[in-house]
Amino acid sequence: MPTSDNSSPPVYREIAEELRSAITSGSLADGDRVPGENELMRRYGVARATARQALSLLIHEGVVVAVRGSGVYVRAFRPLRRHGPRRLSRELWGNGRAIWQADSGQRTFQTDTVEVTEIDAPEHVARALSLAAQERVFKRRRRHLLDERPMQLAASYLPVELATGTVITEPDTGPGGVYARLGELGYGPAHFTEEIRVRMPTPEESEQLHLEPGTPVLDVMRTALTEQRRPVEFTEMTLDGSAYVLQYDFDA
């Protein structure tokens, strides 16, 4: 039974840690109901406010989800393992496969929103693509879902001079996606750079990604370059931080 003194964490944090450990070990599996306030009060001899704090902590961490009128449940979703180098390999998109296929396997993946517009390049986009200030670019905006759950918001930018008159400006870019089409034009990506940042979401992002309170997002900014190091695409991705495991393999 958790018993905090002045040198220990608050009791509610100790209770939350025991529940978290049960989830990590598999004693409480995806979709299982977590002990509620009344059960935690009886089990640990604490006040309702303490039991509520313990559950609230796990809810804000995204470990569990509260279902109104039913209870609190272990979040029934397997995080997606995103393998950075493998998903961008020429072998994948060069053979007509979507880069998402490297991640999702047999799970159900879909893109439910695709918007393509021509705009003046924002300053950071122009800088990433080595364009003049406010030079025109095509912006491809999408929302991706896995197992019917929103996972990622993405916006890709491509120079107008490369994409005009091609299917890159269409919602469906065909087998292998944008990178395969760039390859056919003689601008196939040969190098990629990615930057990753962690932050809290905006209200609009929380709504679009169906995020639980307190769930952070990952910003992934990727630039695709040709063999001659010419930047041909810049992509901004906003990922549900509770739904991903990022994997990168390196040689020593």
d(CA 228, CA 143): 31
Hey, what are 74's tokens?
């272990």
Q: Sign of dihedral through CA atoms 174, 175, 179, 185?
A: negative
d(CA 37, CA 190): 55
Contact 162, 183 (CB under 8 A): no
Q: Please, which pLDDT band fits residue 107 given cuts at 50, 70 and 90?
A: confident
**Domains plus CATH for the chain?**
11-74 (1.10.10.10), 80-247 (3.40.1410.10)
Hey, what are 46's tokens?
């604490």
**Could you tell me if residue 177 is left (phi over 0), alpha (psi between -120 and 50 degrees) or otherwise beta?**
left
40-93 confidence digits (pLDDT tens)? 999 999 999 999 999 999 888 778 888 888 899 987 667 778 877 777 777 777
Contact 164, 196 (CB under 8 A): no
pLDDT at 83: 76
d(CA 237, CA 246): 13
Contact 238, 219 (CB under 8 A): yes
H/E run at residue 90: helix 90-93
185-221 confidence digits (pLDDT tens)? 999 999 999 999 999 999 999 999 988 777 899 999 9
Contact 182, 232 (CB under 8 A): yes
pLDDT at 3: 54
Q: What are the helix (H) ranges across 67-139?
A: 84-87, 90-93, 101-104, 123-128
Nearest Cα to Cα of residue 209 among 126, 133, 142: 142
222-238 confidence digits (pLDDT tens)? 999 999 999 999 999 99
118-155 confidence digits (pLDDT tens)? 999 999 999 999 999 889 999 999 999 988 889 999 99
